[in-house]
Amino acid sequence: MQYLVLRPFTSYGVFYKKGDIVDESMIRSPYLRRSEGKIVPAVSSARVPEEVGPTAETSDSFIEDSIKDTDETAEVEAEAENKQEEKDLFSFSFTPQK
């Protein structure tokens, strides 16, 4: 198994720096180095799996719908506030003076 070096360390008299790919046989106590956060298993392939199926589309449309709902709610609240202000402008109370 190969490991990617995250933090510099020395093993069997050899200095390994960040970014090096090292074979397991070249590292003394790879389990300990992994627990210290100095190495991680190297990925053997550079391909990244693509999202397939309707889940990606569903999640995007769900986010867009929630954004639209929030926008519509804000618009409705703004309209209600404007109507209340208009009512306050045109309403008055008359109290006769003696």
Structure confidence by residue, pLDDT tens digits, 7-41: 999 999 999 999 999 999 999 998 899 898 899 98
* Confidence at residue 78, expressed as pLDDT on a 0 to 100 scale: 75
Largest Cα separation within the chain, whole Å, is: 106
Write down the pTM of the prediction.
Answer: 0.44
Pair 38, 10: CB distance under 8 Å: no
* 62-77 per-position pLDDT tens digit: 555 555 555 566 677 7
For residue 58, the SS3 value is: helix
Pair 23, 42: CB distance under 8 Å: no
> What is the percent of the chain with per-residue pLDDT over 90, rounded to a whole number?
27
